[in-house]
Every structure is written in structure tokens, then in C-alpha cells.
A and B are shown apart, each in its own frame.
Chain A
Amino acid sequence: MDAIGLGPVLYVFGVLLSVLAVFMVVPAILDIIDGHDDWLGFVVAMALTLFVGMALALANMERPIRLGRREAFLLTTVVWVCFSVFAALPFMLSELRLSFTDAFFEAMSGFTTTGSTVLVGLDAMPRGILIWRALLQWMGGIGMIVIAVAAMPVLKVGGMQLFRTESSDRSDKVFARVADFAVSLVVVYVGLTAICAVLYWIGGMTPFEAIAHSMTTLSTGGYSTSDGSIGHFTNPIVHWTGTVFMLAGGLPFVLYIRAVRGATWALPHDSQVRALVVFLCVVIVGMTLWLAYGRGMPFAEALRLVAFNVVSITTTTGYATTDYGLWGPAAQGIFFFLLFVGGCSGSTAGGIKIFRFQILGKAAWAHLHALVLPHAVAHTAYDGRPVAEDVIRAVATFAFVFVGSVVALSLLLFANGLDFVTSLSGAAQAVANVGPGLGDIIGPAGNYSSLPDVAKWGLAFGMLLGRLEFFTVLVLITSRFWRV
């Protein structure tokens, strides 16, 4: 193997860091308009970020840019970690004066579109900080789609090679025409965000609130401009808009691009999309009936509340319209398991993701058949195509590492004296990039600021692992990766 080409990695990283710096202009301008002193923090953070970004880019500029498999692994992890460090600067330099631990946690939670927050009193916060949080999630969301569509199938992370082989239009060609794809993706992403913002505005949000929330809805991030999250807004139009667009953020964005390009029925014909929608319908109908008839809530209200909160947790957004933790132990159990589900591959959502459940379910079924009829040839098929053994193995390994990470992180939280519900749900939500956990401390009505610093670092690492689908990060700690 050749030595890792650090030059191209640093060059691309430098360019991306400069882009991040440019985005800091937005909150700075808002704070200047509002006459709030925080603009200075953003300008200083921007200058520092731009300086480092430009220096790295200029020092490593060479053509052509060659990014192999190992460089792609390294770049992805470096971008998510270092972006969080630089994005944390405004939180430390603003009137919030967060500690580095809290600022990094908030930034990592933003970039990974998790949505766990250490901030409280959002309603009274300057608009600069609020839009910065929204921008972090919005950037993290589109960044994840690019990685999931262009890089992960080639890197064969967690069975994502499935999307490399199944359709040439989604895989190698897309990777080869990454610029073309990126332009289409930006158009779709911005378009959906704009439609969502208009609907939020019609539902009674101010233009600022509508834009900030539409960014964190499409990116399935969940940062809000109010402590009451979406529950702060009482108009059902807002709740249903949120429900629809959180789901939109959890669907494969490649399919939107194909739909725009003429394949109108690409979305409903996709087996992952169908499975996610059917799953959501079953859970929503079941819980609505239970709330309506078991707890006496009016049916329309129960449907609205359940649909919003179930879609929010399943798509790993993390908004809340009410504290569903108070609906009783049965609801808590369901919401705990929903933390693991996630959206579709190639979306902004986290979690285990629907296609992995489909593959594992089919593989388990085939295995069962093989036990009954040992000599029969059993194939696992997905979307009408046979699934290679290495995909099944990769998916099973992914599921194992996912659960293993949740267990390890829970143990860390237990060791820090946190209770059972907080530890387990905190670990699961971090790895699945959801946002709120369960319980009084980190539930929908809680906050992560109470947690000790060690727990915050552990959770931030869990978010990174889950967002980059574990192996992108874990491969860096193997000695073979670095060996020439």
C-alpha cells in the first residue's frame, strides 16, 4: 500500500473549512442588524476559521486531487471532528460563554444532526446563535447525504455497497459525476427547505423562525428557536408540516433527484420508502388508538401528537410537541425502541436505517428455511435482486457494532452515576443521532447541560460514531490503516 496522501486530504479539508467560515457571515449580519454584540464573536471565529482553512488549502494545493479509499475515510472523520471544533468557537465567544466541552457538544450535536442541546432559554437568545445552530444542522444534513451517496457505497461501510451495485444510476455514475449530483442535490435540498419554510410561515411562525425550523426539519436535526420546541407553536399546520418534512428528510434524496428528472414514481416504488411508511403508519395508528381510547384523548389531537412525535423520533429529528415521556411506561418502551430505527439510506436521518432491518429480516428468514430444508438453496433478495453474502455480513456487523456502542456508552454513563433510563436512552439517542432521550434529565423536556463533562464527551463521540456509521471512524484506529 502507498502512504496515505495527507496533502489532498488537507487541501479538501481546507477548502471545506473556508466554506464553513463563510457561513459564519450569516449570524454575524443578523446580530449586527439586531444591534447585538455577539456579531464580534462570529467575526473573530470566522477570521480564525478562514485563516486556517485558506492556509491548509493553499499549502496543499496540487493537481490532480487524488482521494483513495483511505484518504476518503480520513477526510470524512477529520471534517466532522474539526468542523465541530471550529463551529464551537462562536458558542464560546458569544454572550453564552460556553465552556469548550459544552460548545463542542453543541456543535457536534449540530453537525451530526442529532439535536441534543446544552442550551436553555432559547426564546430569549440572540438570533445569531439561533441561526448558527440551524445552519450547523442544515450543513451537516446535506454533508451526510453527499457522504452516504458518493462515498459510503464505495467504502463499503455497513452494507452500503448494496446501493453501489443495485443501480448504476445511484452508484458509480453518481460518484463519477459527483459535481453534477451535488448541484442537483443542492437544488432539491434548498427547494424542499424553502417549501417547508413557507408552510411554517403560513402556520404562524415568523419568517426567521420558519427558516430556522425548516433547516432543522429537512436535516432531521431538531434544534429549535424555542425551549418548547415545535410545541411552542400551537397551529396544527405547523405540526403537520413538520411531520411531512421530517419524513421527507428521512427518505433517500437520490430518489427526489430521479423524480425531478422524470422518474415520477421513484419514491413510492422504492422498497425502503415503502417499508418506512408502512412501519410509521402501523406505529402511529396503534399509539393513536391507545391514546384516544385508553387515555381519553380526542382522536384528532392524539393523531396529530402521535404522528409528529413518532415521526420525529423515528427519523431521528428530535423535535417534541409534548413530553411523551409522561404517557406511561408502554409509550416510553415504544419510544425507546423507535430511537434505533432511523430513516432510509442516503437521507439526513441516522439510526440503524430501514434497509438494514429489511436485509437482516430476510436473512433471518432464509436462515430459518435453511434449518428446515438443509439442502435447499436459499437466496436473500432485496428490491428483486439477490443480496451478496458480504452485504449481509456487513449489515450484521453494523447492527452488532451499533448495539455494542450503545452498551459501551451506557456503561460509561452508568459509571458516572446516571440512572438506568438516562444512561440507556442517552447512549441510544446519541449513537442514533436522535436528540432527546427519556427521563427527567435528558427527556424531551430536559437538557444535557446538567450532565457531567465526561458524559458529554462520551455522548459527542457516540454521535460521531453513529453519524459516520462506525467503521469510517473505527478504521482509523487500526494499525493496518496507517501502515505503508
Chain B
Amino acid sequence: MLGRRFIAIASIVAVAAAAGIAGPGRADGAETIAAPARSVQVIDGDSLQVGRRVLNLAGIDAPELGQLCDADGRAWPCGLDAARRIKKLLALQLGNLLCRIKTSDGMPEAAVCVVADSDLGAIQLTQGLAVATDDAPPTFRAIEDGAREAGLGIWSSRFVQPPSWRRGERLPMERDAVSTTGGWNHFPRTVFGVRLLPIPRTHYAGCVLRGMPAAGGRRVFLGPLDDGYAGIARGRANRAFCSDDEAERAGWLHIGQTAVAEGPRVPGH
């Protein structure tokens, strides 16, 4: 706890160095955007939308939204939980989220995001809700080691590394059609046409992001944390994505990017 400020500063410097981001003294390339923490939209466990910018938290990779972890035989929606935990964290902040982003034309952009002196990426790693990426700073690796040794979060379960998951690798548990309605599979569901038990819904290999056409010919995608997702999931979706990266690479925008005003920019901050 006492070292959080140090970790936040150290991680900004380290990631900036690794990613070629200019330091505070150089105005070219370095850019910091700020937005009230509670206004930030959470896409998944390592992606945020700040203003109109979609940012990936630098140095970490969280399970994708539809990813399941095998917790002693129980299908745990670890990807969704990782995203919800970040959302909860931001919901209790009164100040601004500051994100130092890498100038890039491509999407998604990597950023070091800090709220009240705490690095969001480091917090996700501390809780065992993400893995450190290959280019992560040593402090992140140390935090990840601590979470792994304590068996926190995903480290107490079996899971596919997020990059492999995006390439299509799945746990046997994920490959099986997973009923979301519990252990009622051996009971009759309807008797004389009257439904007694819920009809099992299938966890369709984790591709839970939904794409749909939006006003102005744009194509937008929504995740389970976005308002209106339940409605779109029932009908209007015409495309499913397994990760936000996949959607963005295919040229789809996150739903809020077409509607939310851009946050104030603090160049060279």
C-alpha cells in the first residue's frame, strides 16, 4: 500500500521507456488525458474507453470478456469478473483518471492509467485478475508473482493465457456447451407443454461481444458491461466478436465512441 505511489510512478516511467513514450519534458508524442473516473466506460478487464479513446492498460493482459476459468471444475466467468472489478474500483473514485497514452494511429492504444496515485494495471495484477505482458516492467512481474504465489483470482484456477485464447485455444470446459442455469440437466424441463425448468442457454465459446450497425453507417460493438447489451444480444446483432481487439482490428467502434464527448486533453502532462 505504502509503495503504491512509487509503483504508479515507476510503472509510468518504465512503460514510457519501453514503449518509446516521451517523458514529461518532451511535448512531442507524450499525451495524457484525464476524465472523471466515474465517467470512464469499462470494456473489459484491461480496456477502457476514456472520452472517445479506447485504451488498453499497458503491461497487463486480462482474460477476455467471454473467457471462463476452471475453478475446481466450476466454470468461473473470470473475464467478466475482471472487467466488473475495474468498474467497481472506478465507481468509488471521486477524482480523475489520468491516462498517459502512446501516440499511435492504430488501435488499440496502450496507456498507463492512474487514479488517486494507484496504477489500474498494477491493481488488476495484485488481485490476480490479469497476467503481465512480455513487455511489462519488472514491478508488474513482481506483483504478478505475488498474486500467483498467494493463489489469488485466476491463479487459483486453470485458464488459457489471454493471447492464446484470442487465437482460439479453449479449455475443455469452455468447449463443452456450458449451461448457465445450473445443475438441472437431468430433470424434465417441460411436462405436457408446461415449462417447469429453465431452458439451458449455451455459452457459445466465449464470443460475447456483439456488433451492430449504428447511425451514420457506422459499425459498433457492445460488451456485457454496456447499457443496452441485453437488448442487442437478443436480436439485432449481426456479428459476434471474441475480444475487443478483434472487433477494433475489424474496424468496429465501441458503442460509446460514437456518442460520448471527448475528455479534456492535457498535452505533455
A445 close to B2 (CB less than 8 A): no
User: Is A323 located at the chain interface by the 8 A CB criterion?
Assistant: yes
Q: Complex formed: what's the CA distance from A441 to B153 in Å?
A: 10
CB-CB under 8 A from B152, the residues of chain A are 418, 441, 450-452
User: Is B194 located at the chain interface by the 8 A CB criterion?
Assistant: no
Q: Of the candidates B1, B81, B122, B128, which one forms a contact with A121 in the assembled complex, judged by CB atoms under 8 Å apart? A: B81
Q: How far is the CB of A2 from chain B (nearest CB, A)?
A: 45
B151 close to A452 (CB less than 8 A): yes
CB-CB under 8 A from A438, the residues of chain B are 1
Known interface pairs A40-B198, A417-B150. Does A227 touch B182 (Cβ–Cβ under 8 Å)? no
A417 close to B92 (CB less than 8 A): no
Most A CB contacts (10 A, CB to CB) among B85, B91, B94, B197 go to B91
User: Is A369 located at the chain interface by the 8 A CB criterion?
Assistant: no
CB-CB under 8 A from A41, the residues of chain B are 182
Q: Which chain A residue shows the least CB distance to B224?
A: A124
Q: Complex formed: what's the CA distance from A447 to B93 in Å?
A: 16
User: Is A165 located at the chain interface by the 8 A CB criterion?
Assistant: no
Q: Complex formed: what's the CA distance from A332 to B224 in Å?
A: 34
A322 close to B93 (CB less than 8 A): yes
CB-CB under 8 A from B197, the residues of chain A are 40
User: Is A462 located at the chain interface by the 8 A CB criterion?
Assistant: no
Q: Complex formed: what's the CA distance from A232 to B92 in Å?
A: 8
Residues of chain B in range 1-35 having any CB-CB distance to chain A below 8 Å: 1-2, 4
A417 close to B1 (CB less than 8 A): no
Interface string of A446-460 (1 = CB under 8 A from B): 110111110000000
B91 close to A228 (CB less than 8 A): yes
Q: Which chain A residue shows the least CB distance to B199?
A: A37
Tally of chain B residues near chain A (CB < 8 A): 42
CB-CB under 8 A from A322, the residues of chain B are 92-94
CB-CB under 8 A from A97, the residues of chain B are 74-75, 182
B180 close to A444 (CB less than 8 A): no
Q: Of the candidates A95, A231, A417, which one forms a contact with B181 in the assembled complex, judged by CB atoms under 8 Å apart? A: A95
CB-CB under 8 A from A305, the residues of chain B are 94
Q: Complex formed: what's the CA distance from A40 to B116 in Å?
A: 44
User: Is A419 located at the chain interface by the 8 A CB criterion?
Assistant: yes
User: Is B56 located at the chain interface by the 8 A CB criterion?
Assistant: no
CB-CB under 8 A from B88, the residues of chain A are 120, 227-228, 445, 447
Interface string of B150-180 (1 = CB under 8 A from A): 1111001000000000000000000000001
Interface string of B202-231 (1 = CB under 8 A from A): 000000000000000000000010000000
Q: Complex formed: what's the CA distance from A450 to B149 in Å?
A: 13
Q: Of the candidates B81, B91, B94, B127, which one forms a contact with A441 in the assembled complex, judged by CB atoms under 8 Å apart? A: B127
Q: How far is the CB of A436 from chain B (nearest CB, A)?
A: 10
B85 close to A37 (CB less than 8 A): no
Q: Complex formed: what's the CA distance from A226 to B87 in Å?
A: 11
Known interface pairs A227-B87, A418-B150, A447-B88. Does A440 touch B71 (Cβ–Cβ under 8 Å)? no
Q: How far is the CB of B191 from chain A (nearest CB, A)?
A: 14
B80 close to A421 (CB less than 8 A): no
User: Is B72 located at the chain interface by the 8 A CB criterion?
Assistant: yes
Which B residues are within 8 Å of any A CB, using their own CB?
1-2, 4, 71-72, 74-75, 80-81, 84-85, 87-89, 91-94, 115-118, 122-123, 126-129, 146, 149-153, 156, 180-182, 184, 197-198, 224
Nearest 5 Cβ contacts at the A-B interface = A417-B150, A228-B91, A37-B198, A326-B116, A227-B88
Q: List 11 A-B contacts (CB under 8 A).
A: A40-B184, A40-B197, A120-B81, A320-B92, A322-B94, A323-B116, A326-B116, A417-B150, A449-B153, A450-B153, A452-B156
